[in-house]
Amino acid sequence: MKPLIAALRRQPLERPPIWVMRQAGRYLPEYRRIREQHPFREAVSDPDVATEITLLPLRRFDLDAAIVFADIMTPLEAMGVEVEYSPGPRLRPMSPGKVAELPDPDPAGIEPVIETIRRVGAQVAPEVAVIGFAGAPTTLLAYLLEGSGSKDFPRLRRALVSQPRATSAALVRLAEAMRSYLSAQIGAGADAVQLFDSWAGVLSRAQFADLAGPSAAATLERLEAPTIYFAPASGHFLDLLPMVGADCYGLDWRIPIDRAWKTLGEVAVQGNLDPAVLLTDPDTIRRTAARVLEEAGGRPGHVFNLGHGIHRDTPPEHLQVLVETVKG
């Protein structure tokens, strides 16, 4: 069994598997060279380019997983939402009622991601897992209502309070669409899928319990592959995360992994080295990674990862030090 999948199923391993979020990204000079020739939209919509980018970190580092190079906006575009990148996503703000009326994703719109997963699965080593992903309903709704990224998404929070029924219906619609999208990725060969709930942390405990958590749970319900749920800055509702029903929960660097594990219970955990550590020096990287491993204590179900995406200024050789430390 692939080490990542064994860890997600909480089977004993000699060491935790390792991959890092945004591992196929701007810290790699070869990625930057590709992007000089291919704008972002073209890169994620061309399976030739997306496959090459997905495989870049596997050629450099002995990682245990490849995560498909894609974007959480892709299925929204397949649902008829117009998205521009400058450089982040920009959309025409919608109302919760309009979101609830969005159609199912057009299969042709998600086919580039599906084909990329097929190609990556055919090219990676047998022990390397392929990870698919999607944005969680709450995070997607945050962009749809705001029209772009935001520090704290006031339109989302306003809608949760002033239009709870319409907002709930919008989350149900997005959950249905993202579950279908993830199911298609699994059908194409994804060994596991991760649900990114990047902005759930702006919500209160009650809002997570009433809306964000149930919509994430609906997205992951009965998927035929192990699932990971990652909501950074969610320490104030950490004890509520198990309601999502994921096999594994990603942790950011703000809470010790052993303390979080006690709260979460009998599940796998992923994390949680601060990405800023990779901007320091090899000795600091080794020492801090060893602390994370010590906190995990060799317990089955640990996937070593960063507490967020790798920083664009990270020297690639520093990631090599991290991989060697974990595998050593």
Residue 258 confidence (pLDDT) above 90: yes
What's residue 223's pLDDT?
Answer: 98
Query: Quick one: average pLDDT of 71-100?
Result: 93
What's residue 253's pLDDT?
Answer: 96
29 Rama class: left (phi>0) / alpha (psi -120 to 50) / beta: alpha
Degrees to nearest 5, angle at CA 267 with 259 and 305: 70
Query: Quick one: average pLDDT of 244-249?
Result: 98
Query: Using CA atoms, how far apart are residues 296 and 265, in angstroms rounded to an integer?
Result: 13
155 Cβ contact list (under 8 Å, min separation 6): 93, 145, 146
- Is residue 149 within 8 Å of 88, Cβ to Cβ? yes
Query: Using CA atoms, how far apart are residues 241 and 99, in angstroms rounded to an integer?
Result: 25
What's residue 150's pLDDT?
Answer: 79
61: which 2 tokens? 């580092």
- 15 tagged catalytic: no
- Is residue 271 within 8 Å of 306, Cβ to Cβ? yes
- 26 tagged catalytic: yes
pLDDT tens per residue across span 163-216: 999 999 999 999 999 999 999 999 999 999 999 999 999 999 999 999 999 999
pLDDT band at 45 (very low <50, low <70, confident <90, very high): very high
**Closest C-alpha among 76, 260, 254, 262 to residue 170:** 76
- In the beta sheet, which residues pair with residue 228? 194, 248
- 258 tagged catalytic: no
pLDDT tens per residue across span 264-317: 999 999 999 999 999 999 999 999 999 999 999 999 999 999 999 999 999 999
- Is residue 194 within 8 Å of 5, Cβ to Cβ? no
What's residue 288's pLDDT?
Answer: 98
What is the Cα Rg of the chain in Å? Answer: 19
What's residue 148's pLDDT?
Answer: 78
259 Cβ contact list (under 8 Å, min separation 6): none
- Is residue 65 within 8 Å of 53, Cβ to Cβ? no
- 35 tagged catalytic: yes
Query: Using CA atoms, how far apart are residues 116 and 188, in angstroms rounded to an integer?
Result: 9
Q: Helix (H, G, I), strand (E, B), or coil: what is residue 84? A: strand
- Is residue 159 within 8 Å of 98, Cβ to Cβ? no
User: Which member of 31, 64, 71, 181 is catalytic?
Assistant: 71
153: which 2 tokens? 């998404």
What's residue 30's pLDDT?
Answer: 97
What's residue 176's pLDDT?
Answer: 98
Q: Helix (H, G, I), strand (E, B), or coil: what is residue 202? A: helix
Residue 20 confidence (pLDDT) above 90: yes
Q: What is the largest CA-CA distance in the chain?
A: 53
User: Which member of 9, 10, 35, 118 is catalytic?
Assistant: 35
User: Which member of 31, 143, 181, 229 is catalytic?
Assistant: 143
**Closest C-alpha among 290, 299, 296 to residue 326:** 290
pLDDT tens per residue across span 131-167: 999 999 999 999 999 987 877 899 999 999 999 999 9
- 46 tagged catalytic: no
- Is residue 238 within 8 Å of 229, Cβ to Cβ? no
pLDDT band at 2 (very low <50, low <70, confident <90, very high): very high
pLDDT tens per residue across span 86-145: 878 898 999 999 999 999 999 999 999 999 999 999 999 999 999 999 999 999 999 999
- Is residue 304 within 8 Å of 20, Cβ to Cβ? no
Which domains are present in the chain?
A: 3-327 (3.20.20.210)
What's residue 151's pLDDT?
Answer: 79
> For residue 303, what is the DSSP state?
E
